[in-house]
């Protein structure tokens, strides 16, 4: 497995977070400018609604990033399964083209499992550019957490370099902000003695992980 410099990986992850937050935060800035100049009561109300939506999206993304990439301060060694579930549901709250089906067979999970689950879900959502279904499942079996995320829909979009980052075959000097999260998952799985795998077809992307616990 190719390991990138920790500082390089951190900078690439920061670039990814900034990119994902730029749109909702930029919408907040634009909305405030419009609100300052707008005199019509109905249009001001519409501006307020857009500001509230952008603020909610920004907050949802920050909460997601906190667990998906950060140290998850404030949580113990185990995290209630409802926490990542609510964060993933929030990502598609305003996207009526994506349906999520859940099958979580446990009440809580370790932080590494949470990170894998959240990032797999993000990859699955990103793959559904034309909408579709996201099936998310997790269970404990023989002392290991088994995670499966399956995205099905027309014209699945999945960058092959992300797949290489997941399986550890992407050269360290080719890790970018686009592949940094997948590379992080690969390192995380290796540290736990587990592994990742994926399967891709024209209408489905399946992501799987086995993470030994304890």
Percentages (nearest 5) of helix, strand, coil residues in the chain:
50, 20, 25
Mean pLDDT of 164-173: 91
Unique residue bearing structure tokens 């990103």? 126
Q: Give 4-42 as a DSSP string.
A: --HHHHHHHHHHHHHHHHHHHHHHHHHHHHHHHH---HH
Biggest CA-to-CA distance, the chain: 64
Residue 158 has what pLDDT? 95
Residues 94 and 45: their CA atoms lie apart, in Å, by: 20
> Partners of 141 in the beta sheet?
144
Could you state, in order of their start, the residue ranges of all structural domains in the chain?
Answer: 6-212
CATH of domain 6-212: 3.30.565.10
Mean pLDDT of 2-22: 80
Q: pLDDT (tens digit, 9 = 90+) per residue, 107-122? A: 899 999 999 999 999 9
Report which of residues 147 and 44 the model is more confident about. Answer: 147
Residue 73 has what pLDDT? 58
Write the DSSP symbol of residue 91. Answer: H
Q: Whole-structure pTM over 0.85, yes or no?
A: yes
Q: Indicate if the pLDDT at residue 56 is higher than 80.
A: yes
> Partners of 104 in the beta sheet?
138
Considering 20-34, 82-96, 113-127, the range whose residues carry the highest mean pLDDT is 113-127
Residues with Cβ < 8 Å from 109, sequence gap 6 or more? 78, 79, 81, 84, 117, 138, 145
Q: pLDDT (tens digit, 9 = 90+) per residue, 113-160? A: 999 999 999 999 999 999 999 999 999 998 899 999 999 999 899 999
Q: pLDDT (tens digit, 9 = 90+) per residue, 174-213? A: 999 899 999 999 999 999 999 999 999 989 999 999 999 8
Q: Residue 50: name the closest of 19, 86, 23 by CA.
A: 23
Which region, left, alpha or beta, applies to residue 104 given φ > 0 means left and ψ of -120 to 50 means alpha? beta
């Amino acid at each position: 497995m190719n390991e990138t410099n920790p500082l390089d990986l951190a900078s690439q992850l920061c670039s990814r977070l900034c990119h994902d937050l730029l749109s909702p935060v930029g919408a907040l800035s634009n909305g405030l400018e419009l609100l300052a100049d707008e005199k019509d009561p109905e249009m001001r109300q519409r501006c307020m609604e857009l500001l509230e939506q952008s603020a909610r999206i920004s907050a949802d993304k920050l909460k997601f990033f906190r667990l998906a990439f950060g140290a998850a301060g404030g949580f113990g060694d185990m995290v209630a399964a409802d926490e990542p579930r609510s964060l993933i549901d929030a990502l598609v709250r305003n996207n009526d083209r994506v349906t999520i089906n859940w099958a979580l067979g446990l009440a809580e999970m370790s932080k590494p499992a949470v990170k894998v689950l959240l990032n797999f879900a993000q990859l699955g959502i990103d793959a559904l550019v034309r909408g579709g279904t996201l099936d998310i499942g997790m269970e404990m079996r023989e002392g290991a957490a088994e995670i499966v995320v399956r995205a099905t829909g027309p014209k699945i979009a999945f960058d092959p370099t992300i797949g290489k980052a997941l399986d550890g075959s992407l050269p360290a000097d080719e890790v970018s902000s686009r592949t940094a999260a997948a590379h992080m998952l690969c390192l995380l799985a290796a540290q736990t003695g587990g592994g990742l795998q994926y399967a891709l077809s024209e209408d489905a992307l399946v992501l799987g992980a086995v993470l030994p616990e304890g």
